[in-house]
Structure 1
Amino acid sequence: MRNLFLLAPATIALMLSPAVLAGEAKVTFENIEDYTDFRPANGIEERFQERKKEQFTEIFNELSEQLPEGQVLSVTIKDIDLSGRLEPTFGQTTAAYARVVRSIDFPTMEFDYALTDSAGQVLEEGSAKIKDMAFDLDQAKSLKVRRQALYFEEQMLEDWFNKTFSKRLAAN
């Protein structure tokens, strides 16, 4: 009986583990220096880009958790245009930039993708050019935007993922 109590939490943790139940993502970024808008308003560009690359990779990893076990989503990002636009601001001592978000500065992305099974067989592949021209119409989003990096871009990618893989997600 004592062994049963010791094994129960481990069994439950294993059953609920996302690694056991989910696919995975592999994300690469191609020619970042040519991206339309992938620059910081202020700060060191390399650090900004590394941080954004990590955030985009995390978004794709979270989306891939919905895929069946063993499936891998490989994404090669070719262009990113973040929501908003960098505009100069003039302080007392130096000029700087601020990212100003208006409805005409919607997020866009271009990437190639391939979904493979555990044997490496390609299940689905293609190129995507996505944009969200209505990214700022939902007033409820404004509160979340302040707390979450890449909020508009993440919503755009979720929409693409759900539309592209809806049949596979329904089967899962």
Structure 2
Amino acid sequence: MKITYVLMAAGLLSQLGVNVQAEETQEKNLITESGAVKVEWQAPDSFRDIKTSSGIQSRFEQRLFDTLTQALAKDAKKSLKANQKLELVVTDVDLAGDMRPTFGAAAVSELRIVKDLYPPRMTFSYRVFEDDKVIMIGDEKLVDMNFMHRVGINNSASDYESQMLADWLKKTVAPKV
């Protein structure tokens, strides 16, 4: 009889352990909105490269995603009609540059090196709505090989990616809406 209780308890504990692991490995999606733009950042932990060189990673990600969404909303305001909305589901981001270790007096840290060799990349699907009706849909894999030769870029953590999205919006969405 004691063996039955022990086996039942072990079974329950192992089941709880599996459930806890499943919750821990479940990826989180972040959603940012600004104006007529809504972006779902799907499983950002699996993105190719959105590392920060300093600070807390989760705060950097939130700031990056908010900045990109706001910049896209600003550009979309010029292209979309008042009753239109743009929604993106971003599945991968690779920021311009590459993270390289640096060795200082206190500890090892990383520094983002920006060169032509490391262009910004972004993969996403999108939908344009007009009065809650889908009028445009598509998938994109953007790469901006010319990112280093643009005038007016401030070289901050999201300028290259914001410009890449602005160019995409102007070339792909604006002519069709």
Equivalent in 105, 109, 113 of residue 96 of structure 1 = 109
Q: What's 2:25 paired with?
A: none
Instruction: Return the alpha-carbon distance in structure 2 between the equivalents of residues 111 and 96 of structure 1.
Output: 30
- Written as runs of structure 1 = structure 2, the 5 A alignment for 1:43-82 is 43-66=55-78, 67-82=80-95
Q: Deviations over 1:128-171 (max 9, x none)?
A: 10010111124x44xx424x5411111111110011123246xx
* 2:163 is equivalent to residue 155 of structure 1: yes
- Could you say which structure has the larger radius of gyration? 2
In structure 2, runs of 5+ residues without a counterpart are: 1-34
Structure 1 residues 38 and 64 mapped into 2: Cα distance closer, same or farther (>3 Å)? same
- TM score, norm. by length of structure 2: 0.75
Instruction: Return the alpha-carbon distance in structure 2 between the equivalents of residues 166 and 61 of structure 1.
Output: 13
Instruction: Return the alpha-carbon distance in structure 1 between the equivalents of residues 149 and 73 of structure 2.
Output: 27
Instruction: Return the alpha-carbon distance in structure 2 between the equivalents of residues 50 and 137 of structure 1.
Output: 28
* 2:158 is equivalent to residue 145 of structure 1: no
Q: Deviations over 1:94-113 (max 9, x none)?
A: 11111110110000000110
Do the aligned residues in 2 keep the contact of 1:27 with 1:60 (CA within 8 Å)? no
Moved over 3 A (4+): none
* 2:93 is equivalent to residue 84 of structure 1: no
In structure 1, runs of 5+ residues without a counterpart are: 1-22
Instruction: Return the alpha-carbon distance in structure 2 between the equivalents of residues 137 and 167 of structure 1.
Output: 25
Q: Amino acid of the residue matched to residue 29 of structure 1?
A: W
Do the aligned residues in 2 keep the contact of 1:114 with 1:126 (CA within 8 Å)? yes
How many residues were matched structurally? 142
- TM score, norm. by length of structure 1: 0.77
Secondary structure of the structure 1 residue equivalent to 2:148: coil
Structure 1 residues 93 and 149 mapped into 2: Cα distance closer, same or farther (>3 Å)? closer
Instruction: Return the alpha-carbon distance in structure 2 between the equivalents of residues 155 and 76 of structure 1.
Output: 18
